[in-house]
Amino acid sequence: MGAWDTGLFDNDGAGDCLIAIGHNPASIREQVQYIHNTWLEDEYMEVDEGASILAIGELILIAYGMQPVHPLTADLDLDTIKTHLNQELLTQITHLIRIALDVDHTEASEIYELWAEADAADFAAWKHTGHNVLAKLEQINL
């Protein structure tokens, strides 16, 4: 899975996503569209796409001051990220996060399956963090 801890930025997929957004903050839209398109192909979310959409969710919360700045996000242009968000994109992001977290029990998320097979305490911590991000995102109105 390429994870070294239970945080949403603590894996290779999230790191790659943050690098892409760091190079071009406006690419957040493209990142979300790519994740959405790959999910639509098989109605299954691969591990890197799941990690990326969760990282994007946490990044949005950081941009809006709803989460503390993470060391990996300290140099990102958070204002530009905010200017590229609208309610439609935010709704798409929360929908994809729900898939990644298997909220509707569709068994369409590889990242969820891999964490479910991991240490129970680590799985619980990862899941709690992900659901916390989802709940906070659902409170944002743009």
User: How many structural domains is the chain composed of?
Assistant: 1
Q: Is the pLDDT of residue 107 over 70?
A: yes
- DSSP label of 119: -
Residue 89, in any domain of the structure: yes
Residue 3, in any domain of the structure: no
Q: Which residue has the tokens 């992900």?
A: 130
pLDDT tens track for 58-69: 999 999 999 999
Residue 94, in any domain of the structure: yes
Per this entry, what is the length of the chain? 142
* Domain containing residue 78: 12-137
Residue 40, in any domain of the structure: yes
Residue 5, in any domain of the structure: no
pLDDT of residue 3: 65
Residue 2, in any domain of the structure: no
pLDDT of residue 2: 66
Exposure pattern of 24-37 as b/e (b: 16+ CB <10 Å)?
ebebbeebbeebbe
pLDDT of residue 5: 72
